Structure 1
Amino acid sequence: MGSLFSKPSPQPPPASAELNKPWRKVTWREKNEILPYLEGFRSSAGVLRILLYGPTGAGKSCFVNSAQKVLLGRNVISAHEQTMRVGQSFTVKIKTHKMKKRGGGRFPFVFDDIMGLQPDNLGGIQTEDIINILKGHISDGYIFNPMHPITADHPKYKAKPEAEDKVHCLVCILPADSVSRMNDEVFVKMKTIRTKAVHLDIPHVIVLTKVDQACEVVNQDLKKIYLSRKISEKVEECSHKLGIPLNNIYPVQNYHTEISPDEATDNLLLMALNDIVNFANDHVEDRDDE
């Protein structure tokens, strides 16, 4: 019979915040080694269209600005951002962002920034509107109605979209620091959109933002992102919830307070941009073959 004063069973030590080896092997390179590929990229279509979507406050507009900053090598304001989460989407209309090149000209790809997803009782963009964007039916500048999706008689509705109006890659922007607390209703909406993208053969990736706010190890040293146990767990969680393969999920740190370029930040953003642009181009080539 056990004693009333028996010692409790020893608890296992807490898992280290840093892994013994990287959960993803990458080569950190100078920005000027990576950027020339995108600068010399030629699309199989006229312009590749990349749609950014996700919950309110995930950092979609910030990602657009960060991408343009790394491509230009200077501070920019391309998309208007909200400085803090206020529960409502700061973006209220579809805005197409044409990416500028250093020395002039444009890249052969654009980003469509849209209103954020929210539970039905809080408003946000309608799922049907995002599906219509995938098909190329909604023109730039359309102001979203949180209560009703666009109708075929609206002046911004394109009944017969051109190939360049359609989306060539779907990018879900998710916040690493709060993805575990996101409303299930929002995930249901995102899975509905993903299912439609799959039916349309549109590639789908996740860009995981705010990694510095999700993990102190990463906050102290961004180059330890692939040694971070917390970020590895967040990537696996996103893969499980949306059914997107792990190698199609890209953790990044957007530019927030910095006004000068940062090598590690640029590396992560360019890794994601390179693959997103290539996936979009692959989609166009596969469609043309068919």
Structure 2
Amino acid sequence: MGIFNSKDKQLEPPPPPFLDEPWRKIRWGDNQAVLQYVQNYKPANENIKLLRVLLYGPVGAGKSSFINSVGDIMQRRMTNSAAASAITSDKSFTKQYQTHKIQITRGANKTFYPFVFNDIMGVENETASGVHPEDIKLAMMGHVKEGYKFNPVSSLSKDDHYYNKGPAPDEKVHVLVCVLSANVAEVKKIILEKMNSVRETARDLGIPQMAIMTNVDEACPVTEKDLKNVYRSRHLKNKMKEFSSAVGIPMKYIFPVKNYSHEIELDDDVDTLILSALKNMINFGDDFIEKNAPV
């Protein structure tokens, strides 16, 4: 018989919410250097004009909100490039395949940054609902045309008007980003199965993969109080470990972020986390472009 009985164990205090040291180093307040890095980016291969990032994940994870947040930061003001819903629902708000560009200049001669985001219908709980996994795979290979309306029951067929038979290098995906919310207790098994199928295709195509974990402020009181606590939060580190194990993406490729939601002004700490994720998206995608693009 042990020294402590079950009642004694129940009285053991919970571990403190703070880790002694941040488990990942990040340069808070050094946004200008990262912003300049992103602003100066050009694809490694001159035959490719756009680096394409495909976001996928469960409904309500914050895919569209992340795109809007990137637009806010790069344009230094609040924007609304990707329609996002503020209503909690188990049904996807995004219905069509869309490419989102981030503007550099405005007016008649407006220009855009050389990276784009593709937002797709969310992965849902039911078998015949949400984005069809085959459509995500076709999108990665560049076979889905702009404006295609997702059909949860059947994937895009080769004889469909929206099927791109000969995708250009710019139309193919260069980095696949899984978006998960830290404010979710667990990811349903059926969603994980759909997502793992997508990941296997990306692996076979050699497309680099990473993940962003949204809503870190809502999921953890110490981070809600001060976003700089994100890498000192015991809860968020454990949550990232859970996600890493569930989706098969190493911890080093998962980035916690807070999307802009209720704010009407930019915040340096919010920008720091989003820019950190964005810089790595660009780096991973550019490595793929340099390795695989035609010469």
TM-score, length-scaled by structure 2 = 0.93
Alignment of 1:28-67 (within 5 A): 28-44=28-44, 45-67=48-70
CA RMSD of aligned residues (A): 1.8
Secondary structure, in 3 states, of the residue corresponding to 1:23?
coil
The range that moved more, 103-112 or 38-47, is 103-112
- The match for 1:117 is 123
CA distance in 2 between counterparts of 1:245 and 1:7 reads 36
The CA deviation at 1:120 is 3.2
- The match for 1:87 is 90
The CA deviation at 1:70 is 0.7
Runs of 5+ in structure 2 lacking a partner? Answer: none
- The match for 2:250 is 245
Query: Does the 8 Å CA contact 2:34/2:275 hold for their aligned counterparts?
Result: yes
2:203 is aligned with 1:203: no
2:71 is aligned with 1:68: yes
Query: Does the 8 Å CA contact 2:128/2:153 hold for their aligned counterparts?
Result: no
CA distance in 2 between counterparts of 1:229 and 1:198 reads 31
2:180 is aligned with 1:181: no
Query: Structure 1 127/96 Cα, relative in aligned 2: closer, same or farther at 3 Å?
Result: same
- The match for 2:101 is 98
Matched pairs, number: 285
- The match for 2:292 is 287
Query: Does the 8 Å CA contact 2:127/2:190 hold for their aligned counterparts?
Result: no
Query: Structure 1 122/199 Cα, relative in aligned 2: closer, same or farther at 3 Å?
Result: closer
Q: 1:153 aligns with which of 154, 159, 177?
A: 159
Query: Structure 1 124/28 Cα, relative in aligned 2: closer, same or farther at 3 Å?
Result: same
- Partner amino acid, structure 2, of 1:49: R
Secondary structure, in 3 states, of the residue corresponding to 2:167?
coil
1:244-280 per-position Cα deviation (integer Å, ceiling 9, x unaligned): 1111000000000001010000000000000101110
1:120-147 per-position Cα deviation (integer Å, ceiling 9, x unaligned): 3461010000000011100111000111
- Partner amino acid, structure 2, of 1:220: K
- The match for 2:144 is 138
2:8 is aligned with 1:9: yes
CA distance in 1 between counterparts of 2:70 and 2:234 reads 26
- Partner amino acid, structure 2, of 1:213: E
CA distance in 2 between counterparts of 1:184 and 1:272 reads 26
The range that moved more, 6-15 or 142-151, is 6-15
Query: Does the 8 Å CA contact 1:50/1:167 hold for their aligned counterparts?
Result: yes
The CA deviation at 1:156 is 0.6
TM-score, length-scaled by structure 1 = 0.94
Query: Does the 8 Å CA contact 2:217/2:258 hold for their aligned counterparts?
Result: yes
Runs of 5+ in structure 1 lacking a partner? Answer: none
The CA deviation at 1:27 is 1.6
Query: Structure 1 29/148 Cα, relative in aligned 2: closer, same or farther at 3 Å?
Result: same
CA distance in 2 between counterparts of 1:228 and 1:211 reads 10
The CA deviation at 1:102 is 5.8
Between the aligned residues of both structures, percent identity stands at: 38
- Partner amino acid, structure 2, of 1:255: Y
CA distance in 1 between counterparts of 2:15 and 2:103 reads 44
CA distance in 2 between counterparts of 1:130 and 1:56 reads 14
The range that moved more, 120-129 or 67-76, is 120-129
Query: Does the 8 Å CA contact 1:71/1:102 hold for their aligned counterparts?
Result: no
The CA deviation at 1:172 is 0.6
- Partner amino acid, structure 1, of 2:164: K
CA distance in 2 between counterparts of 1:56 and 1:9 reads 42
2:175 is aligned with 1:172: no
